[in-house]
Structure formats: structure tokens, C-alpha cells
Amino acid sequence: MRSFARVRLSNLIMWLAAGLASSAAGCGGDPGGGAACSGAACGGTIVGGNYTITASCFGATTVKEASCAVPVTVDLHGIFMTGGGSLNDDHTYRLSTTVSGSLVETIPAQCLNLKGRQVTCQEVTQELQAMVTKPGSPFSTFTCSGSGECICTHVSKPRSQSQQGTYATSGTNVTFTPANGESPSVDPYCASPTQIIIQYPMSSMTGMAALEGFSGSIVLTKQ
């Protein structure tokens, strides 16, 4: 059972702990309204000033796992980001963000068969909850239910991150280049005089092919 938990959740934990929380401007669930996050990338002029994250939106997708031939569904509607910072006329930026909320993972029954023994959802809960006590765990609770497939809710600990660097626009894309040497993030955006919507294809943000189906967006509103 222990090897199952380590293999099944390694990508999700790495992503939430390092990928989303360390992004220049991540995205998540929806504290402000999903409609606010919609719209095609249009480019435009980013007006320098102080901004607040007023909405963040994620959806659901499937995750490819080498340990199981059947795709696993992950719903990120419950993950959200708050915070804000500045995007300046000299093309520097500084952002402080906090990621929190929960994600729901649906594990098919086929993925719970270990060498001919069917693992129960209660066993999955016990094993994953034991991981919460380990140093560095980004989650506070795991709860799984079901009699065939397991529907597991993973509640994230709030994780705060500050970042600064430079940004540049080209067409309908904005590139954020962190000052700490991390890889730049190139993302579609749409700017108006009072608001910026930034879209994130998760594979480019995290560099993890298993999360290629994820996408999301945030809304930055000028103060």
C-alpha cells in the first residue's frame, strides 16, 4: 500500500508544492467569479501600477500515470490564489501570492488493484493521511470515499510566495522572467487600462508533461 501512495501522489504533490506556489502569478479556484476569468487572449498595453488578484479559475482534467493505464481525473475548482503586487512601467514586477483550497482526485478501481488485491478507499485514506505529518507536505488532510473508484479530497495548506523580476509583452503573450534564475513563463494575456487576465497552460508553467491538460487564469485588477 505504501508504494501505491508514493507513486500515485508524487506528481500532484510536486506540482502543488513547487509548480503552482512558485509561479510568477498562478491561478486556482474562484473566489471572485468564474466569468471574470473568461475571454480570449487579446494582448494590449499593461498599465503600470499596483494590482490585486480579484479572481482565479481552474477546471478539471485527467492525469497520465505510469502506474495505471486508466487516466485519473483531477478537479481543481477548489484551488485558488490571492494576493497581488506591482507591474511597473519599467517592465519590472513584484508579486506576493498565497495558494490554498482543495483538489478532488477520482482514482478508478483499476488503479487500486495491487498484485491481485483490491485496495479499499479507507486504506487509501489512512495511507495518504499519514503523509500529512511528513515535513514539507503541502496538504493538511486527505479523505477518500467510495466502494469501487475512490474520490479523494486533498486540502492544501496555505502556501505563500513572493517573486520579482522583469516582464515583456509580444503579441498576445506576456513573458515573466524571475530575478532568481527560474525559467521564464510565457503566457497568453489580455490587458485593459484597469485589468489584466493572464492564462496559464500548466505544462509550460511546471514543465511536467503529466499535467499537460491543466489550464487556468487569474484576473489582476488595478488598484
Query: Could you give the angle at the alpha carbon of 56 between the alpha carbons of 187 and 48, nearest 5°?
Result: 60
Contacts of residue 215, defined as CB under 8 A and 6 or more positions apart, other chains included, come to 58, 59, 199, 200, 201, 202
Give the three-state DSSP class for 126.
Answer: helix
Report pLDDT digits (tens) over 94-121.
Answer: 988 887 888 888 888 888 887 788 888 9
Domain boundaries, the chain: 2-222
> What are 163-220's pLDDT values in tens digits?
899 999 999 999 989 898 888 888 889 999 999 998 875 433 333 333 445 567 889 9
Which pLDDT tens digit goes with each residue over 134-174? 787 777 888 899 988 899 898 888 878 888 999 999 999 99
**CB 150 within 8 Å of CB 107:** yes
Rounded CA-CA distance 24/113 in Å is 39
CA 100 to mean position of chain CA atoms: 10
pTM for the full predicted model: 0.74
